[in-house]
Structure 1
Amino acid sequence: MQSAPAGESMRAGHPVQPSQRMPPLSALRECLSFQADEPPQSFLSRLFGVHPIAREARRSFSGALAELAVMESLSALGSEWTVVHSVPVAGHKQDDHRLVEHRVIDHLVIGPAGIFTLSVESHAGQALWVGERTFIADGERLDHLAKADETGRAVTRLLGSALAAAGVALEIVVTPCVVVDAPATLEVRQRPGRIQVVTARSFSAWLTGLPRLISPTVLEEVVAVAVAASSWPSSPLDHLDTEADAHERRAEFERLRLRVSSARLRRLLWTGLGVVVSYGAVIVNLGGLTALELTSALGR
Structure 2
Amino acid sequence: MTDLFDLRTRPPAIGIMRQCVQRHELDPPQSPVGWLFGQHPLREDARAWYRGALGERAVGRSLAAMGGEWNAIHGVPIGDRGSDIDHVVIGPSGVYVINAKRHIGARVFAGGGSVKVNGQPTQYVRNSQYEAERVAKKLTAVAGHPVEVTPIIAIVDAAELTYGKKEPVVAVLSLSRLPRWLTRNSRTLTSQQIIELSDAAARLSTWGSAIPQGLPDEEVAHRFAQIDRAVSRAIVRNRLWIAGVVIVGGLIALNVISSVLTNALTALL
Distance in 2 separating the partners of 1:71 and 1:137: 22
Aligned to 1:79: 68
In the aligned structure 1, how far is the partner of 2:77 from the partner of 2:28? 36
Q: Go from structure 1 to structure 2 and tell me whether the alpha carbon gap of 1:236 and 1:284 turns closer, same or farther (over 3 Å shift).
A: closer
Write the deviation string for residues 172-210 of structure 1: whole angstroms up to 9, x where unpaired. Answer: 4321111232112111324322x2222344433432343
Change (3 A) 1:104 1:208: same
1:62 corresponds to which letter in structure 2? R
SS of corresponding position for 2:98? strand
User: Would the aligned equivalents of 1:286 and 1:294 in 2 still touch at CA under 8 Å?
Assistant: no
Matched ranges for 1:281-292 at <5 A: 281-289=252-260
The normalised TM-score by structure 1 is 0.76
Match of 1:191 among 144, 153, 167: 167
Alignment counterpart, residue 112 of structure 1, candidates 85, 88, 92: 92
Indicate if the aligned counterparts of 1:48 and 1:266 stay in contact, CA closer than 8 A.
Answer: yes
Matches within 5 A, 1:167-178: 171-178=146-153
Distance, in Å, in 1 between the alignment partners of 2:259 and 2:75 is: 70
My pick for the range that moved more, 78-87 or 29-38, is: 78-87
User: Which of the residues 49, 60, 84 maps onto 1:60?
Assistant: 49
Q: Per the alignment, do residues 131 and 277 of structure 1 end up closer, same or farther by CA in structure 2, a change over 3 Å counting? A: same
Contact 2:15–2:84 (Cα < 8 Å) also in 1: no
Distance 1:278 1:233, change over 3 A: closer
Count of residue pairs brought into register by the alignment:
264
Structure with the higher fraction of residues in helix conformation: 2
1:267 matched residue in structure 2: 238
Task: Give the conservation status (yes or no) of the 8 Å contact 1:70–1:201.
Answer: no
Taking structure 1 as reference, are residues 32 and 233 closer, same or farther at Cα in structure 2, changes over 3 Å only?
A: closer
Match of 1:252 in 2: 223
Work out the CA distance in 1 between the residues paired with 2:44 and 2:238. Answer: 18
**SS in structure 1 of the partner of residue 6 of structure 2:** helix
Residues 290/149 of structure 1: CA separation in 2 closer, same or farther (3 Å cut): closer
- In the other structure, the counterpart of 2:251 is 280
Deviations 1:118-142 (A, max 9, x none): 2222322221111111111122211
Q: Whole-Å Cα distance in 1 between the matches of residues 127 and 261 of structure 2?
A: 72
Instruction: State the TM-score, normalizing by the size of structure 2.
Output: 0.84
Q: Distance in 2 between matches of 1:290 and 1:227?
A: 75
1:135 and 1:142 in contact (8 A); partners too? yes
Q: Judge conservation of contact 2:3–2:204 (CA < 8 Å) in 1.
A: no
After superposition, the CA RMSD in angstroms is: 2.8
Structure 2: gaps of 5 or more residues = none
Q: Deviations over 1:36-78 (max 9, x none)?
A: 1223333322221112111221211111111211221222121
Alignment correspondent of 2:4: 17
